[in-house]
Structure 1
Amino acid sequence: MQPLSRSHRNQFPIPFFGLPIVLLVFLASPTSSCTEQEKSSLIQLLDGLLQDGGLTVSWRSDTDCCSWEGIVCSPDRRVTDVVLASHSLEGPISPFLGNLIGLLRLNLSHNSLSGGLPLELVSSSSIIVLDVSFNRLTGALHELQSSAPDRPLQVLNISSNLLTGPFPSTIWKTIDNLIALNASNNSFTGPIPSDLCNSSPFFAVLDLCFNKFSGSIPPGLGYCSMLRVLRAGYNNLSGTLPDELFNATSLEYLSFPNNDLHGVLDSARMIRLRNLRILDLGWNNFNGSIPDSVGQLKRLEKFQLGHNNLSGELPSTLSNCTNLKTIDLKSNKFSGGLSKVNFSNLRNLKTLDLWSDNFTGTIPESMYSCSNLTALRLSSNNLHGQLSSKISNLKYLSFLSLGKNNFTNITNALQILKSSKNISTLLLGYIFKGEIMPQDDKIDGFENLQVLDTGECKLSGKIPLWISRLTKLEMLVLRGNQLTGPIPGWFKSLSQLFFMDVSSNHLTGEIPLTLMEMPMLKSTDNSSHLGPRVFKLPVYTGPLLQYLVVTSFPVVLNLSNNNFTGVIPPQIGQLKVLVALDFSFNKLSGQIPKSVRNLTNLQILDLSNNNLTGAIPAALNNLHFLAAFNVSDNDLEGPIPSGGQFNTFGTSSFDGNTKLCGSMLIHKCGSAEAPTDTILSTKQTDYKVAFAIAFSAFFGVGVLYDQIVLSRHFG
């Protein structure tokens, strides 16, 4: 799935706001008035703005500037605070704000300010808190004269801008009162400053995540005796965690995810960080085992080591971390069972993610004592057995993923899980192999279920009636089973359903007209019908492709690889919200309906390997978002439409239609002779690969055809 937007990815962690300096608030005297010099400096800020957010209403030269919106003054008539956050301001930041000699706090965050950060503000002789985060500032930070007097700046927040270049070392040598620095979500390069702690002995918060910093972690950070928050994830850092770093024993928040760090987690060093509440080293190359000493980190709340090369068994001492709320160890190389950990001690645990490890055995009974669990993912391991009825103790469970294991008895599992009233995402793909799809009408729970995946289970039987009672269902994956019979007419009653994949079954009959009445596929105004959409855990559709919200998935109708007969209903043109439509590998006949031209959001259209006849409607070249198109192996005839997206499709899209002609084929329109085969025959897998490439290129880091429309597994 795609990562979160830049405006939400980075905010100061809670410890930052706990700093005394941030909580300082001064009350202004209502009778004070500012000096003409200060009024002039503020007016120069206003005059330089392209959009002032309505400040001109109160910022009038004939009134006292201490009464202006966003201005706070001290009793001695000096401006102490300029607070203009979220005021829709556009334009540059005036350097004349540096002339406000009594200014203590400047907050211009969450605007659209541009240009550089004026040196006059960073080098101010009075400002202690400077916050220009969430703007559009560009350029590099300026050097300060090394001979300049020490500056009082304590809190600097320049996060979520477009700043570039390295960090000038002279800044940290002259700002020796710095307590907190947030420079996250920019494009800074070069090494992390190594002398922050030497210059600022009270330094407590450093947030550099989502930048382009490179090199190793400077050992000097270990000399920050007051350092509580260290975040530098999503950079290009390499090397190991330096020994000196573990001397920063006040650390509560240590986060270096998504870098290229390696090494082992040394037991003796880890013990030193007894104050840790958050440890996030995910998406690196750490190896070895998790040391037993982790059990001495009694304050630990988040333990995130996913996507590394860790091995061995989980230490039993993990049970001692009774404050844990999140355990994320997914995608490692662990071994052994889970029973060594006494999960019943972890009563605060809310998220347990062990996806794609190598754990064996059964689900330990103690796990069902984690009564506060909201998200549990055990998929892609080697676990076996049946689901215990004790899972019903997890009253708050919302996200459950068990796929790609060796569990048995799907009827028992669903009978148990139906009492879990809060489950909204249930992923059961690749398990219960060869069993019968439960038809029992007593499966009547799941009133809050939004996502159901029982794909690739080889289940036999029919599409069960109890699915019709899942009134909040938004995504249904029944792909890769052995279901028979027609598609039931009650599907149109699933008013929230927008992703339906029943491909690779043995379904028969005609494509029912009731599918053409599905509300979420017809209406372009569905916002009022959408409920809570955020997954408790990212949903994976491939090794690296993850989704954080349900609405990230495209609107899909996939009926491919079945035995459907009859024609494609002309009413298909009503499904105007469709992004992907796949009817391939069936026995459909008749013509391609002209109404398909109404599917203006369509990006994937696969009608290959059917018995379709007639021409390709010329109006399909109006489908301007169409990125992948396949009508191969039918009996189509006439010219291939030209122009629009059709100029981008390769010959494999039309393979096996000997009566088609077009500029991209050997058989040109109007030629006297048509070869018996215009293009070499291609296997089904070749079509899917071609579609995957086309869809991937169109979406960039978005949805992949092979992983979504024909997705093999949701994890």
Structure 2
Amino acid sequence: MGDMATLRRLLPTVALLLLLSAAAPSVADDSSAMSDLRDAMSPAPSGWSSSASYCKWDGVNCDSSSRVTSISLASQGLSGTLLPDLSSLSSLRTLSLQKNAFSGAVPNLANLASLQEIYLDNNNFTSVPAGAFAGLTSLQTLSLSNNFNLDPWPIPSELNQSSSLVTFYAGNANVMGTLPDFFGSFPSLQSLRLSYNNLTGPLPPSFAGSGIQNLWLNNQAQGLSGTIDVLSRMPALSQAWLHKNSFTGPIPDLSKCESLFDLQVRDNELTGVMPANLTSLPSLKNVSLDNNKLQGPVPDNPNKIQLTYDGTNSFCNTAPGPCSPQVTTLLEIAGALGYPTTLAESWEGNDACQGWSFVTCQGKNVTSVNFSKQHFAGTISPAFANLTSLRSLLLNDNDLTGSIPDSLAKLPQLQILDVSNNNLSGKVPVFPASVKFTSTGNPLLGKSSSGSGGGGGSGSDANSGSSPSATNGSSVSAGLIAAIVSTVLVFLAIVLFVLYRFCYAKRKNTGIGKGKNLEKGKEVAKVNGMNGHGGVQSEMHSQSSGDLPVFDGGNVAISIDVLRQVTDDFSEANILGRGGFGVVYKGELHDGTMIAVKRMESLAIGNKGLDEFQSELAVLTKVRHRHLVALLGYCINGNERLLVYEHMPQGTLAQHLFECEAMGYPRLTWKQRVTIALDVARGVEYLHSLAQQSFIHRDLKPSNILLGDDMRAKVADFGLVKNAPDGKYSLETRLAGTFGYLAPEYAATGRVTTKVDVYAFGVVLMEILTGRKALDDSLPDDRAHLVTWFRRALINKENIPKAIDQTLNPVDDTLESISKVAELAGHCTAREPFQRPDMGHAVNILSPLVEQWKPSSQEDEDNYGIDLHLSLPQALERWQADEGSTSMFNSSSLSQTQSSIPPKPAYFPDTFNSTDCR
């Protein structure tokens, strides 16, 4: 009994010891794996000290049980060969090792059921072990792009276990083989980027009905092949890059792809006539068709999208317009055959009697078509009946299906018709006795078939041998069955369509597949609008960017969780600045890309705040220019509104001019200053070129001029606003704090014109020249207002060296340049608007003072798809029509402003003198 009592007393202790011993290995396992991982890297990551707990290492996060949940070491300059197996880190959710120099095999991550994000792109890995990605049931992002040294590897079949996959990037990663047909396993897949590999074979049927929005399969070494018909059944598709492959056949009807904005199919072997409705798709902005074998009319372009079709195409004319009737008919015939390449290569021009293969003419009329033994598939087109001079039609020894069209029996001059040795079926039309008709080798021909697809008619079957009564009875029975079957199929189709639309709409509303309700830490986005460079990134840029989301000017929705993570929950330490509508935060994406997040203050979200938000979305996602800060995306989170811009790492011009010491910036050189001035002038000039200038607000002051790494400037604070009925600017409060930059006429009329902008630009020039603020209450009254003081100094040019920033210390040639800019500043701030130049004049004055900038390619030009022949209200109405929205602005208010930019008046002085000081 005593022994039993002792045992009972010891049981709790034994149980506790057992529990502790069971728990210990999990901590030890992560400790050992993390220690081994550190030792495998060269050099060891910063902050990964062996004396500190691995949970405190830089870039490592752990849960409450000290299990590692994320490892983030992007862009750390690390190398080495990673552990062959990381599968012991069973709580790992994020692995970010991109943009380093790791080599050897990709680590085995099999069966890490919690793993959601894998970023291994931009490294030097040499192989992908079989099974490395098996059992990743929570995986959402897999990025392996730009691993140029990988041995050839196929897309792993085990990826079909990752049913939550949203993003798969493996461009420039030596992927080979065919695209597996398992994409139906990924209901949430949005982005598939596999450019610059060695994929072959066709597009998989499982693309159909998928949620893929962003599809990059361009530049395969040997080329993907087959047709691109599956695109027509991808309703979520917004961007398709299929260029530089070996796709054949026609461009399908893409009318169901209502979000498609970018279609790149150049440098393939596509044939046939472009669908007439392609360039009228509501969201389409960019199409490249160059270097294919397309036929028919030159594509019409009613919406003025960015459309190219040069090179090896064989359009019938050089400008939009219909082809000749015979050419139109023969192309319709080719269409029934799937537009064979052999026809596309020889059927050129607008005269079928000028060297077209397989066609014989008498005079200008086609009299013979000989398609014998060409291995053509498809059906016999009823359009043959339009060739009324046709005497001989040879279609024998092909793979034709369907029926013989009744219309062929009505050809008035037909003498020979040979359809032998095909797979034709259905009834045979009754041909006149004068027609030599040969049809042997078609075992189904002459038999009733509900599947005939060649447009055959209902004429009696001269060769069937069936009695009329038997034929009629059979027809009634077959017709009844066909009607019943058709009714059932139609009913089922309607039910399935309704269910699909319901599920799709529900998924859309809940954010699945649209990038609005994503897990924390993902930069997955829905692109609804136009991307940069008219929607087309350069191939070099697209492949060197680490396959980031497409932040190229599209209407990109980003989840609040993503923005909270990348800004460290909107940390005070990440504040870049404060404005009239909120605070701007610095953020960093997983790959190191910096962004600026403008978060509206809750008190500012009244009607004006919402109007401002809608205005910026309406225009900034469309307007692109190298000297305007680009809007990358937005977030709507309840009543909260956020805008995501590109980050300009060198801060504002104001910080460089007025806060050099406090900000730790060196003083700007004169070359830097005049370059900045030119950049600003070009940006504002472009805004003015949009014509309806009173609808664009530009708050020009140094704090709204941002600088990049190369010290090139971009104008930040501009957008579109509604004019009040009296024509006044609707955002007077925004300008209340910028009095020193406002032209005198604004105080009396409230009208914002280009001349108001020119005045503000002149003030900025004065600040650049002097290093002084527009208003400085710390100075005596006669010097506090910069414009008044500086214009007085300009009366005598000898005063200029004393008025400028003394840190410039100009030499003679620099002083000449400074004097020209000072003179321009005086012109720009003239009291009367008509005395001020336009921004084009300012650009012309500043350009010779700066090394001339030239675009590296046509894609770098300014308008990025904006049609400068339209006024801004017209462009906005077109954008709204494209996007199905007319809620932001009404046509009556848009029509109240002037539509032209006044040139520099003839009487405007070329030099500055004292009479301009009045």
When the two structures are superposed, what TM-score results if normalisation uses the length of structure 2? 0.32
Q: Which has the larger radius of gyration?
A: 2
**Higher percent of residues as helix:** 2
Q: If the length of structure 1 is used for normalisation, what is the TM-score?
A: 0.41
